[in-house]
Amino acid sequence: MEHLTLNTGAKIPLVGLGTWDLRDETCVSLVSEAIRLGYRLIDTAQMYDNEKEVGQGIAQTNVDRDDLFITTKLDSRSNGYKQALEGISRSLDNLNLDYVDLLLVHEPYSNDLAMYEALSEAYHDGKVKAIGISNYNQKRFEQFLKNVDIIPAVNQVECHLQFQKWVLQQKLKEHGTIMQAWSPLSQGKLGFEKQPEFLQLSEKYKKSPAQIVLRFLTQRGISVIPKTRRIECLEENMSIFDFQLLPEEMNLLKSLDKDTTLFSWTEY
């Protein structure tokens, strides 16, 4: 597994498991199986309503806690300083963990600065190893930076072939913030696996179109958290570090960017 270094000095895996929409025993078993297969980054959120199941999946493994990288996110129920403090305690209880490796403000809420103050306090108390934000575009990110003492370690955003966010990634990099991609495989909405570019690259590297996409993003220095319900896809999504796309192939895939979101609820 390859890693990126956060502005805290901690290492974050380039590939993790996203758990959006995973519920009940399916979530428990997938999390535990992912860790057994070598995943160390597991991403959840209050909004997903599955923190308890993620925690149960972690508890079923025998991997040392310090070898795992667990992320969760505070949603609108924690929209305020006091509410965020309570939300942090609730998430730790749900996960049955003493700390999380990364805690994010899930969206640019009205009281996000007060929420972030609570995150900063939890960071100093050792309940959180790194803090950051999610779904902040460049304008909101720059506004946010003017009012915080701790630079976000991560900005987790929608990023895939149709919405590649090169400018945002560069702006984040200038401030020492890592960009992480949710929905890196675009939830199967783009049909990129049928495009000639992918068929040719798949044949050349003996990799699936999904693996080509994930390698494209990770070669850019973007951590990815694809979600799947299938064990074979868990294995496939991890098996991307034994090949390297050439510069001209990276440029070919870059040309597919439409700078367009797939989700109407985002503010991009």
SS3 154: strand
Q: Rounded CA gap, 137 and 30, in Å?
A: 31
With CA atoms as reference, report the closest residue to 73 among 39, 101, 96, 53. Answer: 101
Strand partners, 223: 180
Strand partners, 73: 104
What separation in angstroms does the CA of 47 have from each of 22, 115, 124, 199, 251?
A: 12, 15, 25, 36, 36
Burial class (CB in 10 A: 0-12, 13-18, 19+), 67: exposed
Question: Over the range 237-267, which residues count as b (16 or more CB within 10 Å of their CB) and which as e?
Answer: bbbbeeeebeeebeeebeebeeeebeeeeee
- Residue of 39, 48, 116, 136 with catalytic role: 48
Q: What angle do CA 243, 207, 242 make, to 5 degrees?
A: 20
Instruction: Determine contact, residues 179/167, Cβ cutoff 8 Å.
Output: no
Active site includes 205?
no
Residue type, 116: Y
DSSP class of 160: B
Tokens of 71: 């992320």
Q: How many CB atoms lie within 10 A of CB 231?
A: 13
State the catalytic residues. Answer: 48
